[in-house]
Amino acid sequence: MNSLNKVIVDRAALAHNVAVCRRAAGEAELLAMVKADAYGHGMIETARVFSRQGVDAFGVAEAVEGVQLRQAGFTEPILIMAGVIPDTVAAIVEYNLTPVLVDDLTIAQLSFCSGKLGQVTPVYLKMDAGMGRQGFLPEELDRVLGTLENFSSLRLAGILAHFPGADDLANPGPPVVLETFRQTVERLRATLAPGVRFHIANSGGLFYLPGAVFDMVRPGIALYGYYPDGGDGSRTSLTDRLRPAMQYRSRVLQVRDVPGGYPLGYGHTFTTSRPSRIAVLPLGYEDGYSRGLSNRGKVLLRGCFAPVVGRVSMNLTLVDVTDIAGVQTGDQAVLMGTQGEKCITADDIAGWMGSISNEVLCLLGSLNNREYIN
Ligand SMILES: *Cc1c(COP(=O)(O)O)cnc(C)c1O
């Protein structure tokens, strides 16, 4: 049976966004970030689209995600971005995943496991170029590179770093981070094997920071159709725009008329100022429609915006349809996406709930049934 709430993922939009990122990346290779269940779009289905578009590699956070990709048949390099602990080493080697090392705890064990299987496992080093979250400081790199040389079952595949705020040009962090990374590339490139890749650009680096594209780029949010600054892409020099790939739709469960001066829902956080017609939607924070959207969100009904009134509860949400003629039980409600001439984006929802599009996509995508089109 069909659920009333569903997320619709447009494969054509995903493919289009790969093409846009490719053009922005020029000669550099493209690694598609599919962590967090492909930002809520469904990791396996989404990776199939990206693979058909010829992406060069995948990025996930944890080894278990890499194993799922391998078990689904993907043969591209898969980088495990969030680091490795001893428990995951055996699976990483067995499934030919590429660990991104954030410390040297597992180097010996990785080499031992690979050697036992007669393999050479590619490894990346994560460098902390000023992000301040994970990785080796620039001055620690030489020591680790020296250590790696002692393990013949490991091969250095690359060195990567990450930006703290490539989406925010007013923030002086990224240029300093980029400069630190650039100096490291300059210093190490000549001393390392020719195939060793350097990369730092996420979506923000790719679209907004000149000079951030090295051997490979690692967009995430851009592949799903959103610019990391919450904008519409007009700040980039590119003419082709990203296209949001996810919509979220529901159906009206009930329409009811209530008097003026009537308080609505948990906590009575909204009181009608006039006799009102209220549509009840079968969704709430259990579906990823955040409680932060209480009295702030909007949805599309019959091509018009209807404001959320009262608290978003666990699985019911009220919207005011007094000014929209003809709303009835069973009508399609668009929480995110287009209806008629109007559109609600993940950036709109993020703005109402005080977050970023990434979180909106992860929440809605992972907590609802997904349907794929195109
Ligand atoms: C998530 C992630 C990315 C992608 O970031 P976006 O801002 O979504 O493009 C790139 N690199 C690393 C290491 C990441 O963790």
Q: Is 219 in the pocket of ligand 1 (CB under 6 A)?
A: yes
Atom in ligand 1 nearest the alpha carbon of residue 162: 13
Residues 298 and 308 sit within 8 Å (Cβ to Cβ) = yes
Specify the pLDDT at position 166. Answer: 57
E strand intervals along the chain: 6-10, 29-33, 57-60, 78-80, 98-101, 121-126, 154-160, 197-199, 216-217, 246-251, 254-258, 263-264, 270-271, 276-281, 298-301, 304-307, 317-320, 332-339, 342-344, 369-373
Lowest mean pLDDT among 96-100, 129-133, 303-307, 312-316: 129-133
Q: How far apart are CA 137 and CA 128, in angstroms?
A: 5
Lowest mean pLDDT among 137-141, 183-187, 231-235: 231-235
Task: Give me ligand 1 centre to Cα 61, in Å.
Answer: 10
CA atoms within 13 A on the CB side of 26: 10
The contacts found for 183-188 with CB under 8 angstroms, 24 or more apart, are 183/138, 184/127, 184/129, 184/138, 184/141, 184/159, 185/159, 185/214, 188/141, 188/145, 188/159
* 243-261 pLDDT tens trace: 999 999 999 999 999 999 9
**35 tagged catalytic:** yes
**Tokens for 340?**
């008629």
Q: Is 77 in the pocket of ligand 1 (CB under 6 A)?
A: no
- Residue 130 binned pLDDT confidence (cut-offs 50, 70, 90): confident
**Tokens for 357?**
């599009």
Task: Give me ligand 1 centre to Cα 260, in Å.
Answer: 49
Task: Give me ligand 1 centre to Cα 34, in Å.
Answer: 9
Q: How far apart are CA 349 and CA 371, in angstroms?
A: 21
Q: How far apart are CA 233 and CA 241, in angstroms?
A: 6
Q: Is 17 in the pocket of ligand 1 (CB under 6 A)?
A: no
Q: Is 203 in the pocket of ligand 1 (CB under 6 A)?
A: yes
Q: Does residue 202 surpass a pLDDT of 60?
A: yes
Q: How far apart are CA 41 and CA 34, in angstroms?
A: 9
Specify the pLDDT at position 209. Answer: 87
Task: Give me ligand 1 centre to Cα 201, in Å.
Answer: 8
> Residues 6, 35, 126, 298: which is the catalytic one?
35
* 2-46 pLDDT tens trace: 789 999 999 999 999 999 999 999 999 999 999 999 999 999 999
Q: Compute the average pLDDT of residues 163-177.
A: 70
Output the residue whose Cα is nearest ligand 1's atom 6: 220
87 alpha carbon, distance to own chain's centre: 26
Lowest mean pLDDT among 109-123, 126-140, 283-297: 126-140
Atom in ligand 1 nearest the alpha carbon of residue 203: 9
Of residues 124 and 229, which shows the higher confidence score?
Answer: 124
Residues in the chain: 374
Task: Give me ligand 1 centre to Cα 294, in Å.
Answer: 30
Q: Does residue 231 surpass a pLDDT of 90?
A: no
> Residues 116, 224, 226, 266: which is the catalytic one?
266
Q: Where does 81-217 have alpha helices with state H? A: 86-94, 107-116, 141-149, 173-189, 203-208
Regarding beta strands 154-160 and 246-251, do their DSSP bridges make them parallel or antiparallel, or are they unpaired? Answer: unpaired
Q: How far apart are CA 236 and CA 240, in angstroms?
A: 10
**266 tagged catalytic:** yes
Q: Is 218 in the pocket of ligand 1 (CB under 6 A)?
A: yes
Q: Does residue 235 surpass a pLDDT of 90?
A: no
pTM for the model? 0.93
* Burial status of residue 96 (CB atoms within 10 A of its CB: 0-12, 13-18, 19 or more): middle
**Tokens for 276?**
């009102």
Q: What is the DSSP string of 228-264?
A: TTSS-STTSS-SSPP---EEEEEE--EEEEE-TT-EE
